[in-house]
Structure 1
Amino acid sequence: MDVGVMLTTARPDHWTETEVFDYTMDFAVEADRIGYQSAWLLEHHFTRYGLCPNTLTMAGYVLGRTKQIKVGTAVVILPLDHPIRIVEQTNMLDQLSHGRFILGVGRGYFPKDFEAFGVDPAKSHLLQTEYVDIIQQVWDKKTAKWDSDLIKLPDVTPYPEQFTEKPMLYGVGQSPTTIEWAASRGIPLLMPVVGSLESMAAITELYNEHAENHGIDPETVPHAMCSVAHVAETTEKAREEIFENMCWWENEHDAAAFTVQDLEKLPNYRFQYGEWQAAALRGDRTTEDFTQYFIDNSIIGSPTECAGRLERIAEATGVRNLLLGFEATLNRDRIIEVMNTFSDDVLPRLGWKPESVEQS
């Protein structure tokens, strides 16, 4: 089992922007010292939900400050960028880190991003699909040549070439169409831990079916499950400690994300619209309602409760790669304490062992 940490760069009122980045580096360096296998960076624009507008730039800094931990992007928003520039930067990070960089991609969900960068959100899925194909073509054939209605590229070879023969690439995915697309290419998913165990298991089952139809062994695909994670002496204390901050986070997200009215007009976000409808049917109509639902379905509680929840998720989905967000208290020292408590008291119950510097 591999376990990584999510580095959000969220900016609450009581932290300055400089503190956000200083603390984020503290978390990355501590995760490396503890022996977590990976650290993941989130791209956001125009919102305090996250201050990192360029995960590739930040990844270079994190890689330079750490010794062994792998660093991934969760995600690079592909439609906002250019595939040649992404593959050039990815290859350079792969070379500089001797294979410690992981590219994770997504198509975006915040309307101001598309407006500011002049991208039609109705085409986000098409752009992501082609950009991924171009990136993988460069890795395989060393040429960026491409000709389609969306993008035309000359026959150029981006340098440097990648350090890793077959670089790992992840894609965010929950909707059936995204799952089918990823499975057809053997791209592992970054999946949020939200909802019932049955719903999470359904994602991997659907992926496996499509992968097998394309001649890909699903057992070789290292999906990753992402979740908020927090531990305290009791489950009640753990929940109370983060509830207010999680409400803040949810409000920041909702202020930046597509509205229901936006989603109704975007057929390529039909799954996300369905998720909103499902929340309405559950009665989650307020920030507090949804936050409670989110906490109920995350890795939050006593050490015993957290370990049990993780074990049940792994058994239901078959996923053995966990990405945990420890920042829910929005308190620098408490976050580092929780990272250590998980490594000492929670994860060993599932057979997890820290990465040792000597083995890297």
Structure 2
Amino acid sequence: MRFGVFYVLECPDHDFSRAYREMLAQIGYAEHLGFDEVWLAEHHGSEYGSMPSPQVAAAAVAQRTERMRIGIAVSNLTFDWPVRVAEDYAMVDVLSGGRLDFGVGRGYQPGEFRNMGVGDRQAVSREVFEEALEIVRGLWSRRPGEPFFFHGRHFHIDGVSCHPMPVQRPTPPVYVASISPETFDLVATLGCNLLVTPTLMTLPELNRLVVDIKRRLIAGGRDPLSLDFPMNWQIHLAETTGEAVRDAAGPLSWYYRNVLDLVPSGPDVPRTYERYAELAAASEEAGGLTLDGLRESGVVYVGDPAGLATEIDALHQETGLQHLICWMRFGGLAHDKVLRSMELFAEHVMPLFRDRPPVVPRALRDEVAPVW
């Protein structure tokens, strides 16, 4: 099983210099503790996150680490020119010696589309996203210097080549973030893997979703043991549950107040974003803004290491989880608390699962037994 850390890099006090220093220090410490990877998120123009260019952060991380893979969760392909995206992340792959994991999405916050000058794209973001991803993958998979051509509804590329080319061939691994069935179909077509999170749904709902998607992919010919769905989970550990709750209550409250204000909602939800509005409304109706509600529904794990180990064991059996991303710095949580949570995870949780082999989800074992 693989383990990572994740950063949106919320900065409630606007001391961005401190936030960046702490993030880089935490990433270096995570590598020292044995975490396998770090994932960086792109956001624009709000309190929610302060990493508008994860490619810049990834280049800095590449020079401060030696072993960890550097994941992007995600690059919002609807906000930029896809040739530039391909070039920037190819450079990250080169600088890191081939350690890039490229996570992509189409964005979901209406304010971000407006901030980036592409407000009219949100209604057609799925189309823009699919074309942009095809262009990035196409540029990366060519021979060095070989021109690439593409003509779609939103982008036209005539004889462009990517300089530099990624180290990893044919391309760095591609992960797609999604909560919508339409994107699941795209994932099945492209042979990618999914990035998933319970942030806007309960953990049991996410588990059912993951099992259903894996069922569809297996039916389409995918090897059931190759399906890698990294799960990004907000986690805070302390020696006791009471201490963990005291640490996390304020930062989590701040985070969820912000995210629910930014999710598409109301009568004018852009087309294809209805699922986001439904999940946000359900979260509020279920009392999801309280720490008790978040913990009971499994949206977050706040507690001691032994309880987390029990939860991970259940996820491994129920969904085939083999890749957990730990979102430990959320809502401006104090630096020392984040470091201690990482230490407890590395000491008491990681060793229990490091050598666990991949498994087929429990609900699918009878279904796939004849073919694996």
Q: Which amino acid aligns with 1:65?
A: R
2:222: which partner in 1?
216
The answer on whether the counterparts of 1:197 and 1:313 sit within 8 Å (CA) in structure 2 is no
2:43: which partner in 1?
44
Per the alignment, in what secondary structure is the counterpart of residue 232 of structure 2? Answer: strand
Could you list the runs of 5+ residues in structure 1 that have no partner in the other structure?
354-360
| In 2, Cα distance between equivalents of 1:245 and 1:318 | 30
The alignment's C-alpha RMSD in Å is 2.1
Aligned: 1:346 with 2:349:
yes
1:305: which partner in 2?
307
The answer on whether the counterparts of 2:248 and 2:302 sit within 8 Å (CA) in structure 1 is no
Deviations 1:20-76 (A, max 9, x none): 111011111111111110001111111122111000111001111111111111111
The answer on whether the counterparts of 2:264 and 2:276 sit within 8 Å (CA) in structure 1 is no
Q: Per-residue deviation at 1:163?
A: 0.7
| In 2, Cα distance between equivalents of 1:114 and 1:32 | 34
Could you list the runs of 5+ residues in structure 2 that have no partner in the other structure?
357-372
Aligned: 1:295 with 2:295:
yes
Aligned: 1:239 with 2:239:
no
Q: Per-residue deviation at 1:214?
A: 4.1
Q: Per-residue deviation at 1:125?
A: 1.2
Aligned: 1:163 with 2:175:
no
The answer on whether the counterparts of 1:42 and 1:74 sit within 8 Å (CA) in structure 2 is yes
Aligned: 1:330 with 2:322:
no
2:321: which partner in 1?
319
2:198: which partner in 1?
193
TM-score w.r.t. length of structure 2: 0.87
Give the alignment of 1:111-260 within 5 angstroms: 111-119=110-118, 120-142=121-143, 143-166=147-170, 167-194=172-199, 195-260=201-266
2:108: which partner in 1?
109
**CA 184–207 in structure 1, closer or farther in 2 if over 3 Å, else same:** farther
The answer on whether the counterparts of 1:226 and 1:323 sit within 8 Å (CA) in structure 2 is yes
| In 2, Cα distance between equivalents of 1:46 and 1:133 | 27
Q: Per-residue deviation at 1:325?
A: 1.1
1:9: which partner in 2?
9
Per the alignment, in what secondary structure is the counterpart of residue 6 of structure 1? Answer: strand
| In 1, Cα distance between equivalents of 2:90 and 2:164 | 6
Q: Which amino acid aligns with 1:48?
A: E
| In 2, Cα distance between equivalents of 1:91 and 1:63 | 13
2:66: which partner in 1?
67
Q: Per-residue deviation at 1:352?
A: 5.7
**CA 128–112 in structure 1, closer or farther in 2 if over 3 Å, else same:** same
Q: Which amino acid aligns with 1:278?
A: A
1:261: which partner in 2?
267
**CA 52–35 in structure 1, closer or farther in 2 if over 3 Å, else same:** same
Q: Which amino acid aligns with 1:271?
A: R
**CA 336–198 in structure 1, closer or farther in 2 if over 3 Å, else same:** closer
Deviations 1:195-254 (A, max 9, x none): 455422332333223324544334323210000111123223322321121111112223
